[in-house]
Structure 1
Amino acid sequence: MRHRHLLSPITLRGVALPNRMIMGSMHLGFEGLPDAWPRLADFYAERARGGIGLIVTGGVAPNPQGSFGPDGTVLTSEAELPGHRLVTQAVHAQGGRIIMQILHCGRYSRAADIVAPSPLRAPINSQAPRELSDAEIERTIADFARCARLAVQAGYDGVEVMASEGYLINEFLALRTNKRTDRWGGDLHGRMRFLVEIVRAVRAALGERAMMSVRLSMIDLVEDGLAADEVVAVARAIEAEGCDLINSGIGWHEARVPTIAHTVPQGAWAWATARVKAMVGIPVAASNRIKTADLAESLIAEGQCDMVSMARPLLADPAFAAKVAAGETEAINACIGCNQGCLDPIFTGGAATCLVNPRAGREGEFQSRRPCETQRVAVVGGGPAGMACALEAARRGHDVALFDAAQELGGQFILARAVPGKEEYLATPAYYAQALKKVGVELHLGRPATARDLAPYGRIVLATGIRPRRLDLPGADHPMVVGYEDILSGRKRAGARVAILGSGGIGFDVALYLVGEDHETDFNAEWGIDRAFTARGGLAEPVAPPPARRAITMLQRKADRPGAALGKTTGWIHKAHLQRHHVDMLAGVAYRRIDDKGLHITVNGEERLVEADTVIVCIGQEPRRDLADELKALGREVQLIGGARDASKLDALAAFEEGTRLGLAL
């Protein structure tokens, strides 16, 4: 068996799990909505149906002070059990197992009255906490126990105690946030007392039959975080109190080190988990940037962990585990680590979904039904919108053909593969290629579709995408001026002095590509991660990159800061990387002309010259609608989707959703 370690059963507290795969906890953002419980039931039931060994819910607070905010989920009384029972019954009906995570946000909370071990404001929260009194700490421990007892009443198979990511328990553990001198602070024994007593109380509340996991920070990635030996000591202490599973947490939310974005190497944190596994006798789960069955299998086979926790891969494909069991890993719709559908919306007040799987979190909304009448459907364009539309239409029974002028599927995703860290984006067109073949979609690649090609089809969908906007500027026809597609495709190379016009997503991708073309970057060295774990928090001094071989200047007309429109959880990473490599960024620029000397601009009322050998144009896109105009002139009806309909920005998240919705509606 190819993945025999990953697929081997494991028993926790007498509960037999069919495999070593866990769906890790994720806050989904719709927990406080009126239809939250039915949506959660549908969401988790689909993952249980997909064969995942164990599900961990999003965080549920043991009291109002510990909630995410006014709409956060709290479990404090039996009156709140009916919604939870919808979830547990739905999961158990599919043969799954589910445990509820108990999470007290501490100083990360947006509640009215936030608390912490010491009154220190978190850098990611404008509100300062007040210090918990001794009596309040005792009550909070009792609240955890009550919450665990209620979870069992709700039908959960156990609970997970959240003790990582910089939340309340982690705040007690670390010198960074625990300045107390009473019995809850001081040395490690005092600082871990809060967690140890919670685990003891929760174990008693659960009884002998329910599972207990503790999500423990393997490496804090903040100054004055836990030391290496302290992490092990805490793990041993909770093992002694009856913990059944230690699940890995990596980094605090306030850490200035990326932990789950696509720029982080896959399996980057398994070494930190392996340190703890070697020192305890209970199962330990690895997490963060484990997205393929092959990697998960190797980590378990090599003894670095006993289980793997994967949250976002189960957003992308809820049937992940079932496909592994069936030996069909090539059919997995892989997470690409983009954060655009899952984490970015959470940090801007939205609900989580998935860029490559728009159904995620909306399972009841995206229903596939056989059409009243099957039709011959032509989809022109093999980018995100076109691939998604063709696949859903064919799954429903329509006779579908997909046309694309390129030799391969993917559209703008094909360009993304050149950007360091985005190589895994190619997993998406690879998935669609096999899925489209499986449902019988005819592929016509390698030449533009014509009106004559489309004549036999009753329905025509144009997902022809975009073309880069042309530069309207004196000197725009100078030989040094090139488009971003020429650079990212490798058709042309940039010189030693580069001006990039535009600081949106494409502009940043081009800059990242050029920096990566100069030399490879060591992730641990760049971000100051000490794998020897000699300092608290596992941090070291970042290693400065070698001198740049190119002088790169990014420019934009808008006066706001460059990169402001990038993803909330990834934009800061890209900007920090480019700044380390001495990429200049100018805003509020007026472009004047291009000549042999370079780019002439005005900024802050001052005329300047940006000396350049290459000027790369990244100033936006226009819809590609030539074929639409021709077909309409012939009296044919067409439907435009994706960039062909709206090219105001390159938005793969919207394109996949739009294509999926149309495919389900045809």
Structure 2
Amino acid sequence: MNKYKKLFEPVKIGKCEIKNRFALAPMGPLGLADSEGGFNQRGIDYYTERAKGGTGLIITGVTFVDNEVEEHGMPNCPCPTHNPVQFVRTAREMTERIHAYNAKVFLQMSAGFGRVTIPTNLGEFPPVAPSPIQHRWLDKICRELTIDEIKSIVKKFGDGAYNAKRAGFDGIEIHAVHEGYLIDQFAISLFNHRTDEYGGSLENRLRFAREIVEEIKNRCGEDFPVVLRYSPKSFIKDLRDGALPGEEFVEKGRDLDEGIEAAKLLVSYGYDSLDTDVGSYDSWWWSHPPMYQKKGLYRPYAKLMKETVDVPIICAGRMDDPDMALEAIENGTCDMISLGRPLLADPDYVNKLRANRCQSIRPCISCQEGCMGRIQHYSMINCAVNPQACKEKDNALLPILKKKKVLIVGGGVAGCEAARVLALRGHEPVIYEKNSRLGGNLIPGGAPDFKEDDIALADWYAHTLNELNVQVNLNSEITKEQVLKANFDSVIIATGSTPKVFSLGDDDKVFTAADVLTKKKDCGGTTVVVGGGLVGCETALHLAKKGKKVTIVEALNKILALNGPLCSANSEMLERLIPFNGIDVKTSSKVKAYKDGNLEVETEKGTEKIKCDSVILSVGYKEKNSLYKELEFEIPEIYLLGDARKVSNIMYAIWNAYEVANHI
């Protein structure tokens, strides 16, 4: 018997019945629109694939109702009012395909980003806001919206919802009195300094949100559901300054008292459901939680909303643990579970859960490099661990002309992904891995408790390759002579990388980060991490959380200077967690020597000595490609993948492996 049956009971939002308790959280949809504001083929395929995978409610990523007051540089995102004929034509094709899988689909519509518009999406367009306030990213003051512009945007919501209904959407989600977007900026007094009917009292600050739902209901009927993305708490210490979990601070944004009062008002205005989270762009790590946030972090706030209003509550926020999701439904925390990144990672999550195949669900690792990082830096959405996300047709598995036997040397993520793709296509991959388990750098990388999903990804690969009957030889190094003697049609070298090391003198107590993370070496009670990149900072944080006294020494003028492009939610949170956890940081500093328990460091202020039990080197990795160089001119079809080709990140190791393995 499947213990998760309760997650597959139907639920209603207004009069719209949804077949199960799972929703695709709105993400993106940059790169999924055509030049006229419709959905392009990538967008249609992406959303349809999640419906095919069993998700009961598809909520699209943000679409802009207005492209005049706040220009967005078409075609960043779909727009239901820019060219209504094109929008309805393309969206109708999408909703019809989604409905074929007995799923419902809501269009998420936005008034705009206002002061939080990401610069890559802004182009040359001036940012707007309720009042002349500081932009989140740029050193600019935003332009105040006029009443006529507000009224124009409200009308556009009615037009957009009407077009959405024509296109076959089952409802609307409003974006948002959450995360500090434009409507939220009106709702929060920190951003709204107006003295007209849209400023002052809470009711006035919520007037924009009220007029929007009333306009939609007037145009589309009372039975057309309208959900609100809603944050009852902002976690803002000040402009551009957010609070960390457990930090004592004075809330400058929306506090919970106002959050409760606002929720009651918003539901009384006609909103049929609250899609609940917390946070703001000033505390972005709450709205887009990286791995440093606890799983299910929004549950207390969803529960509070459930106790406050009598409409269905949707809860997102690292809710990919099925047991946590089940408990949340059973104990009345929420009515629906919203999955964003987990459904990027595995579109079949819901069907696999229904079939009791939890081990087959590919985990999201919360790195945000394929999704939010790419949205922020390149205006496109993808997934680090799923190369097919938002490229379903472009990256479809290709049929093979002739079955090949392919040798893969190395069982890290690149080797595992290559083997998975080759096996799915019908080839015969064989892996040789020198260590006792698959995963490569996922194993030390996943040692901190906040990186548990790295280990889950390694376990998923092991499980998946076993299901695909891939021959895996562990504890097996292979030589040039063995490769040449073996009868393989193709060879993939994915031998990974090795940590860079150098001598400091007393090297018996100088370790690599990998050796400390895997507990091969004991760093003692006091240690210095040399290198303030991602690995160094995460190692330092892990050790500090275990009660160690840690210092980071970084040669550049700031930590996390070379890693990227990381999503700001990840990098900013990690950067602030370092001092919050008592870790000392010395930038623009170089280590010179380690002797008699003292590390000599050259700083801008001169030479210092730091007393420590050990030194941990985290100064990067070097490619381990000697086997490839030995074989390069001996084998006709040979490929170099992963860190062995170029030291990078998990995303590119997986993506490049998929690309190569799909074309063998």
Bigger mean CA deviation after superposition, 133-142 or 295-304: 133-142
Equivalent position of 2:277 in the other structure: 249
Q: Establish whether residue 126 from structure 1 lines up as the match of residue 139 from structure 2.
A: yes
Measured after TM superposition, the shift of residue 554 of structure 1 is 1.9
Q: Which residue number in structure 2 is paired with residue 653 of structure 1?
A: 651
Aligned-pair identity in percent equals: 28
The partner residue of 1:369 within 398, 413, 418 is 398
Task: Identify the residue that residue 495 of structure 2 maps to in structure 1.
Answer: 464
Are residues 80 and 108 of structure 1, via their aligned partners in 2, closer, same or farther at CA, if it must alter by over 3 Å?
farther
| Pair 554,54 (structure 1): closer, same or farther in 2 beyond 3 Å | same
- The alignment partner of 2:232 has SS state of strand
AA partner of residue 283 (structure 2): A
Specify which of 185, 189, 194 is matched with residue 208 of structure 2: 194
The CA distance in 2 between the partners of 1:10 and 1:383, in whole Å, is 42
Q: CA deviation at 1:593?
A: 3.2
Alignment of 1:97-496 (within 5 A): 97-104=104-111, 105-109=113-117, 110=122, 112-163=125-176, 164-222=178-236, 223-255=251-283, 258-259=286-287, 260-451=289-480, 454=483, 455-471=486-502, 473=503, 475=505, 478-496=507-525
Query: What is the TM-score normalised by the length of structure 1?
Result: 0.89
Q: Take 1:380 and 1:33, find their aligned partners in 2: how far apart are those partners?
A: 42
Between stretches 289-298 and 312-321, larger displacement belongs to 289-298
Residue 246 of structure 1: how far off its partner (Å): 1.5
CA distance in structure 1 between the aligned counterparts of 2:199 and 2:61, rounded to whole angstroms: 29
Deviation at 1:403, TM superposition (A): 1.7
The alpha-carbon distance between structure 1 residues 470 and 79, as it changes in their structure 2 partners (threshold 3 A), is: same
Deviations 1:64-86 (A, max 9, x none): 23455564433324244234334
Aligned-partner Cα distance in 1 for 2:632–2:175:
58
- What is the aligned counterpart of 1:75 among 56, 80, 86? 80
Structure 1: gaps spanning 5 or more residues = 519-548
| Residues in 2 aligned to 1:117 and 1:362: alpha-carbon distance in whole angstroms | 37
1:12 aligns with 2:16: no
Measured against aligned partners, the alpha-carbon deviations of 1:198-233 in whole angstroms (never above 9, x if no partner) come to: 111111222245322111113222233334343333
Letter in 2 for 1:158: G
Cα distance between partner residues in 2 of 1:357 and 1:459: 24
Does the 8 Å CA contact 2:71/2:125 hold for their aligned counterparts?
A: no
**Residues 412, 440 of structure 2: 8 Å contact kept:** yes
Give the AA of the match of 1:194. Answer: F
> How far apart, in 2, do the equivalents of 1:249 and 1:265 lie?
14
Q: How many angstroms does 1:618 deviate by?
A: 1.5
Amino acid at match of 1:338: C
Matched, 1:49 2:52: yes
Q: Which residue is 1:534 aligned to?
A: none
Amino acid across the alignment from 2:53? G
| Farther-moved stretch of structure 1 (46-55 vs 119-128) | 119-128
- How many residue pairs are counted as aligned between the two chains? 630
Give the match for residue 561 of structure 1: 558
For the 8 Å contact 2:541–2:581, the answer to whether it is kept is no
Shift in alpha-carbon separation, 1:127–1:57, aligned structure 2, 3 A: farther
Amino acid at match of 2:577: H
In structure 2, how many angstroms separate the alpha carbons of the residues matched to 1:306 and 1:635? 58
- Which whole-Å CA distance do the structure 2 matches of 1:158 and 1:178 have between them? 29
Contact 1:13 1:208 in 2 (8 A): no
Unaligned runs of 5+ in 2: 237-250
Q: Distance in 2 between matches of 1:173 and 1:115?
A: 15
User: TM-score, length-normalised on structure 2?
Assistant: 0.89
Name the stretch that deviates more: 460-469 or 216-225.
216-225
What's the counterpart of residue 242 of structure 2?
none
Distance in 2 between the 1:249 and 1:145 partners? 26
Cα pair 2:232 2:258 within 8 Å, conserved: no
Give me the whole-angstrom Cα distance separating, in 2, the residues matched to 1:382 and 1:317: 21
Aligned counterpart, 2:29: 28
- 1:486, 1:112 → 2: CA distance? 50
Equivalent-residue separation in structure 1 for 2:605 and 2:266 (angstroms): 63
Partner Cα distance (2:228, 2:258) in 1: 16
Partner residue of 1:524? none
Cα–Cα, structure 1 residues 630 and 131, in superposed 2: closer, same or farther, change >3 Å?
closer
CA distance in 2, matches of 1:249, 1:608: 46
Tell me by how many angstroms 1:462 deviates. 1.3
Cα separation, partners in 2 of 1:4 and 1:32, compared to 1, 3 Å: closer
Equivalent AA in structure 2 for residue 492 of structure 1: K
- 2:608 paired with 1:595: no
C-alpha deviations, 1:586-644, integer Å up to 9, x for none?
33334433333533343338333333331211222122234334545866753210011
CA distance in 2, matches of 1:80, 1:224: 43
The answer to whether the 8 A contact 1:158-1:206 is kept is no
Which segment drifts farther, 367-376 or 77-86? Answer: 77-86
Q: Is the 8 A contact 1:118 1:180 kept in 2?
A: yes
Q: 1:232 to 1:580 in 2, by over 3 A?
A: closer
| 8 A contact 1:165–1:251 mirrored in 2 | yes
The separation in 1 between residues aligned to 2:526 and 2:435, in whole angstroms, is 31
